[in-house]
Structure 1
């Protein structure tokens, strides 16, 4: 009986709604402002690029997204995604 009660409580918790709205693709409502780092697109990835991009955008976290890399689909408005091509050049900079 306790197992059933625990399972029902867990199932009910999974049905909870999130109060925060997820913005449309490409629109951010948090600290990250990817427009300020678009000058890095086309440049090679370097050791200083992440720090400079974080400083410019105001993002609190950053991740590299390389071709074939599996990334989580969770939206984080404070995260900067720097996408690279096979030659290690920046192809896109987005928040999320």
Structure 2
């Protein structure tokens, strides 16, 4: 069974639509195909970003932290002869 579809309209800058036209022609695809691909990619990235933010907030709530001093010491050591290992939780 085919996935149900729903039409959505959006106003886009003329220059962007012109670029879409050119890309669609080069790829031998429709603008609709480009828009669908772009929205799917954006949604996946935005959902993953939100998940990563939530994981970070959960770490803070659980006390799984690395001190700013430990991170600064590590960052300052990068590129030197005595690079420090990446700090661990509790450092």
Bigger Rg, which one = 2
TM-score of the superposition, structure 1-length normalised? 0.28
Q: Which has the higher strand share?
A: 1
The answer to which structure, 1 or 2, has the higher relative contact order (CA under 8 A, 6+ apart) is: 1
TM-score of the superposition, structure 2-length normalised? 0.30
